[in-house]
Structure 1
Amino acid sequence: MSAPSAAPSEDTVRGYLKTLSNWGRWGSQDELGTINLITPEKRRAAARLVTHGLSVTCARPITTDITPDTTVQPMRFMVDSGEGRDTVSPERALQRRGAAEFIGMVFHGYTITHVDAPSHYFWDGRLYNGRSCNAVTSREGATVNSVEVLRDGVTSRGVLLDVARTKGVRWLEAGVGVMPEDLEAAERAAGVRVEPGDILLVRTGYYGRRLAEGPVHPLRAGNPALHAACCPWLRERGVAMIGTDTHNDVTPLPYPSMGNSFHVVCLVAMGLWLIDNADLEDLARTAERLNRWEFLLTVAPLRLQNVTGSPVNPIALF
């Protein structure tokens, strides 16, 4: 077995912003980024992977709990409820026969499964495809590179690479960065190969650890994730969307002056859409039971206008 590769220098990772750039690749007005890699042929081939008729969610539950990793507590206000409806007169009951609620949340962060649009991050004042960061305003929101460009949803071949399983552990330890050789080892273990237009899901076991041991704040306790060293590999393989069971950046941060370096390179340079905070535990168990690590995957963001992302419930179909 070859020795693990060393993490690239910060200068090298900063260089990815140019060497891995997809700016102009699909035209100067493009906002889809790597979603362009999902062709009609790719979708048809993905649909043929459904043989068992079995569906599995990849989303965490959205709760109003306050936990150490909660960025902003989601809000649920009941506008109307069923309390006391069984004691009112039939005449009054006619006026109140339903329940409804208001839901509010900041989905970016560490707990809610969501997709990041390319408008979510900028570098040196620029968004994906060279747009000015001033196009994301306090008044109008993300006027370019908004999640609304995915209004028709994302459907493609999904591939699960279970790095924790490949390493023979329940979960990767905090601060561990998944490297390209880890992805390739997981490919070999699963007997699959990531191909252009795929939606890649990578399991570190981080959410499984949260379920087993309780939540912690990742900026204080640390967390595993894909290292920015994987960005050239993702571009070479033509990954259309990447999702993990983490918030998609290693902490402690390997390059503090870059902040979330994986987000920066993927979203700004590559236009590579991210799924943060997935629940891949049931998916991993199902894939192992069926010995099937590829499947049809659908991701349908809410049709939110001028927004930098959306809560999602990715569904894998076997």
Structure 2
Amino acid sequence: MRWKHRPEGANWGDFGPDDQLGRLNLITPERVRAAAAEIRAGHTFCLSLPLDFPGGNALNARRNPPRLRPTFRDGAAYVNFPLAKLEPGAVDVLSDDQVLLSLQYSTQWDALAHVGALFDADGDGIAERVYYNGYRPNQDIVGPVDYPEAAAFADHPCGHEHSHAHALGIERVAEHGVQGRGVMVDLAEYHGREFRTIGYDDLMRVLEADAVEVEPGDILVLRTGFAEMVLEMQRQPDAHALHHSCCALDGRDARLLQWITDSGIAALAADNYAVERYPARPAPDPAPRLPLHHHCLFKLGLPLGELWYLRELAAWLRTQRRTRFFLTAPPLRLPGALGSPVTPVATV
């Protein structure tokens, strides 16, 4: 077993000693069948921003917009390429491209390997780096070797460029499939674009006002209006305006975190940048700087979606006095990736 002690409030081991799915295990065939009953009108809604939004890297200096370019053969670019150049008599014209893409630049899922913590899982009094269900750096999540405890891996062929999640990679999510019942919580309907940090009480008021029912295995989807601002800025994001507008969850609210645990939701997605308010409210050290990520990804194995686009879906649901829909949102099946772009589709 990879751990002797699990974090307080964690579900490590509850789905098996080698589990890599976490709360997605709650999306069972029975829950998928129940979710399919939400399809009544047959309308579909795309819940993704264009994947070259927000534009630039003002929101995160590490993440750059996608760069499309042709594929090449013998120096020839395969866009508008007349195959007759290689095969006389051919009438085909070929276009084929490739992309350099930051996987969490735009509408995305976080893999469970995205956020770990310093935690004494071995019970030896020393906190070590560890991820959901006790998976470890360098052994399970491989990356550049730049930490003292990784000296033994200094000659590893990964060098300083390679990264690969042998465990908890996004392909685990893709293989299970993300298809189930989405439940809309429209915070923007009540708070507009007010800069507001949403705790348990605020969330419960919106759930009550809209008669929102949440059941185990549901995927909770939060609209704050943030992605709508991003779209309006037309790839020229105003980082100051964005970071001082709209709702975000209070990751320091213990009652909110406990509700996430008790609700049985399988995943949580929002249209804002990190789901939670960042930076979080101050807390005595040691403490996570991304407490909601810590609670969801590290403790519960609960995937987080960010920068989803929800305006049209939310408006349609409100006119129909509905909050539930059938959601299909598989990430890329890219082995070893720490996150993935996604184009979610809501069917109502």
Asked if these proteins are the same fold (TM beyond 0.5), I'd say: yes
Q: How far did residue 236 of structure 1 move? A: 0.8
Q: How far did residue 69 of structure 1 move? A: 2.5
Deviates more, 1:207-216 or 1:147-156: 207-216
Q: Distance in 2 between matches of 1:179 and 1:263?
A: 15
SS of 2:335's equivalent in the other structure is coil
Map of 2:224 onto structure 1 = 204
Q: 1:235 aligns with which of 261, 277, 285?
A: 261
Alignment of 1:120-269 (within 5 A): 120-124=114-118, 125-134=129-138, 135-138=140-143, 139=158, 141-150=164-173, 151-167=175-191, 169=192, 171-173=193-195, 176-212=196-232, 215-217=237-239, 221-222=243-244, 224-228=247-251, 229=253, 230-246=256-272, 247-255=274-282, 258-269=288-299
Deviates more, 1:252-261 or 1:204-213: 252-261
**Native 8 Å contact 2:279 2:289 kept in 1:** no
Higher helix share: 1
SS of 2:94's equivalent in the other structure is coil
SS of 2:99's equivalent in the other structure is strand
- AA paired with 1:263? H
**Native 8 Å contact 2:248 2:276 kept in 1:** yes
Q: Distance in 1 between matches of 2:298 and 2:32?
A: 26
Q: Name structure 2 gaps, 5 residues minimum.
A: 1-5, 72-77, 119-128, 144-157
- AA paired with 1:104? L
**Native 8 Å contact 2:57 2:64 kept in 1:** no
Q: How far did residue 233 of structure 1 move? A: 1.1
**Native 8 Å contact 1:166 1:189 kept in 2:** no
Q: How far did residue 191 of structure 1 move? A: 1.7
For normalisation by structure 2, the TM-score amounts to 0.77
Alignment of 1:28-177 (within 5 A): 28-63=17-52, 65-66=55-56, 68-69=58-59, 71-79=63-71, 80-82=78-80, 94=90, 97-108=93-104, 111-124=105-118, 125-134=129-138, 135-138=140-143, 139=158, 141-150=164-173, 151-167=175-191, 169=192, 171-173=193-195, 176-177=196-197
Q: Distance in 2 between matches of 1:259 and 1:89?
A: 57
**Native 8 Å contact 2:250 2:276 kept in 1:** yes
Q: How far did residue 313 of structure 1 move? A: 1.0
Deviates more, 1:128-137 or 1:239-248: 128-137
Q: Distance in 2 between matches of 1:40 and 1:243?
A: 21
Map of 2:308 onto structure 1 = 278
SS of 1:118's equivalent in the other structure is coil
**Native 8 Å contact 2:250 2:280 kept in 1:** no
Q: 2:317 aligns with which of 282, 287, 303?
A: 287
User: 1:95–1:280: structure 2 CA closer, same or farther, 3 Å change rule?
Assistant: same
- AA paired with 1:162? D
Q: How far did residue 309 of structure 1 move? A: 1.7
- AA paired with 1:126? V
**Native 8 Å contact 1:115 1:312 kept in 2:** yes
Q: Distance in 2 between matches of 1:259 and 1:192?
A: 30
Q: How many residues align?
A: 294
Q: Distance in 2 between matches of 1:262 and 1:60?
A: 23
Q: Distance in 1 between matches of 2:243 and 2:308?
A: 19
Map of 2:153 onto structure 1 = none
Q: Distance in 2 between matches of 1:148 and 1:259?
A: 27
Which structure's CA Rg is the greater one?
Answer: 2
- AA paired with 2:94? G
- AA paired with 1:24? G
Q: Distance in 2 between matches of 1:112 and 1:99?
A: 25
Root mean square deviation, CA, Å: 2.6
SS of 1:119's equivalent in the other structure is coil
